């Protein structure tokens, strides 16, 4: 999530009530999660397991809950609760805006695009040319949809990420400030849900086709010309490379990569990253021929 202008370290420290370590005028361009962070960004970390990863990341500023040595060329924001303070940034720079019409006046809709009845199009949404948006589709604020896209009835783009921190009093939500990007020539079936990114974007690249009742989690990137069959659930922060096929009822762990051209057979649990160009099956996942051979061998042992 990029800020509307360059902010100084002291400005951000005052905004969230943190202690700054670094030059007062140290420039900050935005804030992001660790997997999408860029130079100029703030990243937050609140667990010792991830301190080094955050401090060594591309982030220019680290929002952290411990006094540590500041890496050269970076700055720190010391907070007793980085999770809370990261939410403060999201609320400040991307506050919720209510709507009072089915299609926001700030939405941009391209030529020859058809919007069927009972569709909701939120603030600052951009929809390209020659699209068909079927009844009951909900497109949250700031989503971007390319040309020649079809979205079938009841699908929802841009709902919040499923991201919580467990506390003694219950679960605190990490507020979503990202969006959804759908590129050209994408088809999305009925009753699909594509969640927005926490600070970046969930992206479906051009030419991908998605069946009915598919869930795509926050900050996931689906490559070009992929096929995703019904009742598949893709977790957050997954990278699906180009021309991947996910058959029905596939489920994935978060933070994994599925390589280009991989085929994942139905009901497989993708528990780890897999290389492209192969067919996979089962839970835990393995190459399909190997997995099916093992199942046949187990069957023969049972018979004996």
Tell me which residues are annotated as active site: 218
Q: CB of 162 within 8 A of CB of 183?
A: no
Torsion of CA 231, 267, 269, 155, to 10 degrees: -10
221-222 and 193-194 as β-strands: parallel, antiparallel, unpaired? unpaired
Phi-psi region of 80 (alpha: psi -120 to 50; beta: other; left: phi over 0): alpha
Residues in Cβ contact with 46 at an 8 Å cutoff, skipping those fewer than 6 apart: 64, 65, 81, 82, 83
User: Are 227 and 209 a contacting pair, CB within 8 Å?
Assistant: yes
Q: How far apart are CA 64 and CA 134, in angstroms?
A: 45
């Amino acid at each position: 999530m990029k800020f509307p202008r360059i902010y100084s370290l002291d400005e951000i420290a005052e905004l969230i009530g943190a202690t700054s370590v670094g030059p007062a005028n140290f420039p900050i361009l935005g804030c992001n999660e660790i997997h999408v962070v860029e130079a100029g960004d703030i990243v937050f970390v609140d667990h010792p397991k991830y301190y080094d990863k955050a401090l060594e990341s591309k982030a220019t500023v680290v929002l952290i809950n411990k006094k540590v040595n500041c890496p050269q060329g970076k700055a720190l924001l010391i907070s007793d609760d980085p999770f809370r303070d990261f939410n403060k940034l999201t609320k400040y720079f991307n506050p919720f805006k209510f709507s009072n019409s089915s299609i926001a006046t700030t939405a941009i809709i391209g030529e020859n695009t058809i919007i069927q009845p009972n569709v909701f199009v939120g603030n600052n949404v951009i929809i390209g040319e020659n699209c068909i948006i079927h009844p009951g589709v909900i497109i949250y604020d700031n989503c971007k949809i390319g040309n020649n896209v079809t979205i079938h009835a009841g699908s929802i783009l841009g709902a919040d990420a499923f991201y919580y921190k467990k506390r003694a009093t219950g679960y605190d939500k990490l507020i979503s400030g990202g969006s959804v990007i759908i590129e050209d020539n994408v088809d999305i079936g009925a009753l699909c849900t594509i969640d927005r990114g926490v600070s970046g974007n969930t992206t479906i690249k051009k030419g991908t086709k998605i069946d009915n009742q598919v869930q795509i989690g926050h900050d996931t990137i689906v490559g070009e010309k992929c096929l995703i069959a019904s009742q598949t659930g893709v977790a957050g922060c997954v990278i699906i490379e180009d021309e991947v096929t996910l058959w029905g009822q596939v489920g994935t762990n978060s933070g994994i990569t599925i390589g280009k051209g991989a085929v994942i057979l139905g009901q497989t649990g993708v528990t780890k990253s897999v290389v492209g160009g192969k067919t996979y099956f089962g839970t835990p996942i393995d190459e399909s021929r190997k997995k099916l051979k093992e199942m046949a061998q187990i069957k023969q042992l049972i018979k004996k």
